[in-house]
A and B are shown apart, each in its own frame.
Chain A
Amino acid sequence: MQRYWFGDITDGGECIPFSRETNELIERCRSLEPEMDNFVPVEPETAVECGVFSSREDYIAELRKVTAALAREKISEYYSSGDIELIQMVRMLNELDHVINLLVERGMEWYIVKNPDFSRKYKNMNQKKVIGMMRRQKRSGLSSIAAEIDALSDKRTRLMKEISGKAVEVAPNCSEIVGGLVAARLISSVGGLRELAFLPASAIQVTGAESALFTHLKGGTPSPKHGIIFQHRRVHNADKAVRGKVARVVAGKLGIAARIDYFRGEADVEFLKKAQERIDAVFGGAGGDVE
């Protein structure tokens, strides 16, 4: 028997139409996989002769309705998985950081031209201070641009909080171990929660340190100890002597956490408790090797 989207045709050549209702056809085609041995592609003319459609045009019009509806369904299914939006949010955050830095740097150059006796040397100038300084340039385009940069920074902070919140939803276990933002960055960097769950811990450990990793692999340089996970406080606050070890343990636990997140989708209290203890032990310098 040959199975087609509008109905089946038996080996004897008899046509069994399924339905002419678009919704029913969509329902049928959602999981329709015809037998591929001895497969014969459908002829629109056969379907017309069969009496389901009045003409070839009618056939194509209905077919387009069905396939387009199926495609729309698949698209929204894909976007509904949550981590897709998270990835876009993280990329927007990175882009915002990039833009804000560029603008501040350029504004600084402008400021220096207007204030020839100013120098940044021996001053502890964080970004907020610099922006404030620029805003005080009255009657100048610089001041209003600085105000815009300031507003952009606020939006960046808000986005960051939003990302943390979303990460807790999408990947509760990973977020518990390294915090929402770092978890989100990891997911974004590898391309999705599924991808993260299928990654070995050693790869998670150096994700974000690709250039160091590849110079290492080509020979000569020492291997990187940590990539994105360095941003987690327990990694960057660890003593230099145990930092690599902490990174390895954190990555190991993250690997497990990502799998729980992907396959189960909810926080595992028992696992988290053990994982935290284990990481803290190494962080304090007491731990040995990963068990």
Chain B
Amino acid sequence: MIRIGSVLVSEGKGGVYGEKMLKGYRVWDPYRSKFAALARIYDGIDLESGWDVLYLGAANGTTVSHFADYVRTVYAVEFAPRPMQDLIEVSDRRKNIVPIMADATRPVEYAAFVSEVDMIYQDVAQPNQAEIAVSNLPFLKKGGTLVLMLKTRSVDVCETPESVFEDSKTIIESSGLEIEFSCWLKPYHKDHACIVCRHV
């Protein structure tokens, strides 16, 4: 990944969402994007130029546009109509984004479009986030990476974020994934955790 000093950046045409530019590169703000926060905290994460990525919960395409700067193809899945409008606009300008309007809890809706990918990146606000990740495993190559951004408050507001984190890790591990790294995204995002796992 490209860093200028300690600032994470990506190559590519700017002006997608009013991001800052630094020496011709697009600044990737850890306070806005959870993946940038993860890259700040964990050195072991990378995006390689030959990769295909399945992005679940693409929203307005902010993080997606940075992904597209790094990797070969991004399959961006989003369910809600309002952010989908923005995502289509982003994908019009970046030819390696495939915008798919479908429900991430039902892989069957987009199975016909998505190829086997090197990374699944999941950032959805659903109560059963860990289960969704597991149900998308058929798309992940052996040895591929799954990055789960866990919005603990969406899982259960009554539980403590810590216990939601532990429960989710248990579900992930029992599905046969290997947890490589996990952390809280403090101080960038409150009550958000991240689990990086490997498909073995």
Taken residue by residue from 68 to 110, chain A's Cβ proximity to chain B (1 for < 8 Å, 0 otherwise) reads as 1011101100110000000000000000000000000000000
Q: How far is the CA of A280 from the CA of B175 in the complex (A)?
A: 60
Are A67 and B99 touching (Cβ within 8 A)?
Answer: yes
Task: Give the tally of cross-chain contacts (CB within 8 A).
Answer: 74
Are A41 and B116 touching (Cβ within 8 A)?
Answer: yes
B75 to chain A, nearest CB (A): 9
Q: Which chain B residues lie closer than 8 Å to A228 at the CB level?
A: none
A138 to chain B, nearest CB (A): 44
B54 to chain A, nearest CB (A): 9
Taken residue by residue from 95 to 119, chain B's Cβ proximity to chain A (1 for < 8 Å, 0 otherwise) reads as 1111111000001110111111100
Knowing A39-B138, A78-B81 touch, does A71 contact B112 (C-beta < 8 A)?
no
Q: Which chain B residues lie closer than 8 Å to A33 at the CB level?
A: 108-109, 111-112
Taken residue by residue from 1 to 23, chain A's Cβ proximity to chain B (1 for < 8 Å, 0 otherwise) reads as 00111000000000000000000
* A199 beta carbon closer than 8 Å to chain B: no
B118 to chain A, nearest CB (A): 12
Residue of A nearest to B107 (CB): A36
Taken residue by residue from 128 to 143, chain B's Cβ proximity to chain A (1 for < 8 Å, 0 otherwise) reads as 0000000000110000
Are A72 and B114 touching (Cβ within 8 A)?
Answer: no
Are A60 and B138 touching (Cβ within 8 A)?
Answer: no
Residue of A nearest to B80 (CB): A78
* A147 beta carbon closer than 8 Å to chain B: no
Residue of A nearest to B78 (CB): A71
* A34 beta carbon closer than 8 Å to chain B: yes
* B73 beta carbon closer than 8 Å to chain A: yes
Taken residue by residue from 227 to 239, chain A's Cβ proximity to chain B (1 for < 8 Å, 0 otherwise) reads as 0000000000000
Are B112 and A68 touching (Cβ within 8 A)?
Answer: no
* B84 beta carbon closer than 8 Å to chain A: yes
A140 to chain B, nearest CB (A): 39
Q: Which of A17-55 contact B (CB under 8 A)?
A: 29, 32-34, 36, 39, 41-44
Closest 5 CB pairs of A and B: A71-B101, A41-B116, A78-B81, A5-B112, A75-B81
